Chain A
């Protein structure tokens, strides 16, 4: 029992990342009808927003500290971040410690801007082209983006720690009445799950309860008719692209402490996220979220020792296997709508 709960928890953080990326992919696909292979790169850029901000915050100048001396007796030179000069040492330390959560504020405008530029500059010209062309051009864009990041940040993963307050683990077992230390779970992953649930909720609420969201949903159903009503649907879809980019970026920002960002993390997630979208059903937002969590949890169950003993290697292939089975038995995916991508 405790093992099962532990695996469900383990699946949640990966599942959250899948769900967030798949949600963005589906938003783009549902609104613009474009298959965006560069979405993983947006996730990766989000993670590097966190890296960048923590680098900016720790930007230092050297001062000579008269009170301390090195082993030769000379006054010691220490690096003092500029942020100490502005806020003082205690506040400065706290800000540096909380760099990752603060990056959220930094990442939103950056990601929305990148999304706008991508949509207006490139993807706009590909609406009328076949899906194969869209896949290819965004695939090329993904390569370019990740190589640019590699050029500036190098090929090695860059550790980006979570704030001290979340660094420990949380003893779930004790809370639920199991023996202590049977189910322990890192705080940050819990934060990640809560955060992604919040984002997913916000996106759904935005689409469901605002006039803007209503127009967008109408546009997803029938773009032409909405256009004929005198609404500039293209502009709204561009904004949705920006939002989708921001969702992917935020998923990346918060994922940075879980897995040190490297330049190809986007591609690793992208392949799986596409599988998630297809399993959930192309163009179905709730399907994407559901499939994301489902596959994340399935993956962590498949890596249990008992399962691996009977079916060795299953943890590597479970997601693809499920995708193949679902595509063959339910061609539209779990919650796919009729008439979407059925050529």
Chain B
């Protein structure tokens, strides 16, 4: 497949993780005290891989070229709207919806990128932010006929859907892949464990693997080298007679297409879209994912997206009574103290936890979880002498 052995192993690992996610994310038996840590339900698993795609795409721009875009949610939103219109007008089959979402997001990012990439640094961030906020504001107000405004869009019984033909009365339109319902899932129970295999999840996971494979190829290609050159020293690149703009623009459009793909997949899974997914905090979230996992690394964004989405779901679910259960074995005074201490960070306080975590990562671990893993690995390696390079990480010259 044109990969080195190391990359191929990485791809296989990710493929296995994605394939067996229903098992891996469901390690605790149903009904046990730990069952709330299970994440093996379709909705969350779909989100894990879809935001993985979003972060992989963002990483191609930010990780390789160093251009920090604060407006990537706009491409996700545009992709979502394109996909839902495909479902309303053409067919509920997800394939055309996903293809059109990638294309439309690509075109939109070409426009935004062409303008924003005239500037770099903080100006670039502000420009992309401005474009994203503009799209959000327009989607909410003037473009209501196209975007549904505050209510958003869903496929309706009365939509034309030229290719599908009329639905039977009372039947609701469901997203499908050549007849395979995205929401259909089948459950296997082994003892107390229940594993859910969802059609939509596997469609998303396969697409995520393809996206991941493409990103590996981009990272290892001469094109990827050029992007890294842009990050390390754009001026020197210019002096050698190379124009960086086409490369950065290509990277911007590719990452915009990834975002559109993620948007299209989101629609394919839950067949609805609202403008709030274009809000700038959504753009901030993908930045958090990429940084938390490790910008500029292959696996980092996937890890970051998985980490954030997993803990967002799990921590938000924990409430006071669950905490009381956990600490019940302790003496009363200590129990109360611990609950008061922990309570602000769980449930609705998830964003506080995320913010603190994110700050800690930026301050102490600029390379994200991947760098953390490398440090731990090196700690163990140091005991036996090895002939590896002293520092496998390449730090770009600013």
Contacts and interface: CB of A to CB of B under 8 A. Distances in A.
Contacts of B167: none
A183 to B, nearest CB: 27
Interface string A3-47: 000000000000000000000000000000001000000000000
Contacts of B337: none
A37 B360 CA distance: 16
A331 B123 CA distance: 9
Contact of B352 (A125, A151, A316): A151
Given A324-B130, A327-B119, A316 B137 contact: yes
A79 B398 CA distance: 62
Interface in A273-300: 274-275, 278, 282
A17 to B, nearest CB: 18
A267 B349 CA distance: 18
Interface residues of B, number: 41
A335 interface: no
Contacts of A136: 287, 291, 358, 362
A132 B287 CA distance: 11
Interface in B344-392: 344, 349, 351-352, 354-356, 358-359, 362-363, 366
Contacts of A192: none
Interface residues of A, number: 39
Interface in A94-147: 122, 125, 129-133, 135-137, 139-144, 147
B140 interface: yes
Contacts, number: 108
Interface string B95-130: 000000000000000000001001111110111011
B137 A317 contact: yes
Interface string B119-154: 111110111011101100110111100000000000
A264 to B, nearest CB: 9
Contact of B134 (A139, A321, A341): A321
B284 interface: yes
A324 B135 CA distance: 13
Contacts of B79: none
A140 B121 contact: no
B352 A144 contact: yes
Residue among A122, A271, A317 with most chain B CB within 10 A: A317
A312 B142 contact: yes
A328 interface: yes
B303 interface: no
Contacts of B123: 278, 282, 327, 331, 341
Contacts of B358: 136, 139-140, 143
A284 to B, nearest CB: 14
Interface string A134-169: 011101111110011001000000000000000000
State the majority secondary structure of interface residues on A: helix
A316 B122 contact: no
Given A140-B355, A274-B129, A316-B138, A133 B366 contact: yes
A259 B119 CA distance: 35
Contacts of B142: 312-313, 316
Nearest to B124: A327
B66 interface: yes
Contact of A143 (B66, B118, B140, B351): B351
A204 interface: no
A70 interface: no
Contacts of B307: none
Given A143-B352, A271-B280, A327-B123, 18 more contacts: A129-B366, A136-B287, A136-B362, A140-B358, A140-B362, A143-B358, A144-B352, A144-B355, A147-B349, A147-B351, A151-B352, A274-B126, A275-B130, A312-B141, A316-B137, A316-B138, A328-B118, A341-B123
Interface of B: 66, 68, 115, 118-123, 125-127, 129-131, 133-134, 137-138, 140-143, 280-281, 284, 287, 291, 344, 349, 351-352, 354-356, 358-359, 362-363, 366, 398
7 shortest A-B CB distances, which residue pairs?
A313-B142, A143-B355, A316-B137, A147-B352, A140-B359, A320-B130, A144-B355
17 contacts: A122-B363, A139-B358, A140-B356, A143-B354, A144-B352, A144-B356, A151-B349, A271-B280, A282-B123, A316-B134, A317-B134, A320-B137, A323-B130, A327-B123, A331-B123, A341-B123, A343-B120
